[in-house]
Amino acid sequence: MSEARTLDLRGLRCPLPVLRARKMLKGMESGEALVVLTTDPLAGLDIPAFLAEDGHKLVSVERTAWGHRFHVERGEGGQRS
């Protein structure tokens, strides 16, 4: 996996974390790594669901004192823009 980019979405509420993560991933190459930071409690459900739906790999998820840290690998699904 390549050097990870970080997308800090702390403070944003549903549906913004999913929309912003989707936009970032669309601009990345297949196999690139992304770390997504969130504070929205629903992101723990929404982010994994959207990643599976769009064909991306959830490498790991960590619960933190402030929310979640998702380690993602861009899949081949979706279109690069």
pTM over the 0.85 mark: yes
What secondary structure letter does DSSP report for 69?
E
What's residue 79's pLDDT? 52
Task: Give the per-residue pLDDT at 57.
Answer: 98
Helix (H, G, I), strand (E, B) or coil at 29: coil
Over the chain (81 residues), the average pLDDT of each successive run of 10 is 87 97 97 98 96 97 97 80 46
Sign of the alpha-carbon dihedral angle for 3, 1, 27, 63: negative
What pLDDT, on the 0 to 100 scale, is given for residue 14?
94
The residue ranges of every structural domain in the chain are: 1-32
Contact 34, 25 (CB under 8 A): yes
pLDDT value at residue 81 = 46
Per-residue pLDDT, 70: 98
| Cβ atoms < 10 Å from Cβ of 35 | 16
Catalytic residue among 5, 10, 12, 14: 14
Rg of the Cα atoms in the chain: 11
Could you confirm whether 14 is annotated as catalytic?
yes
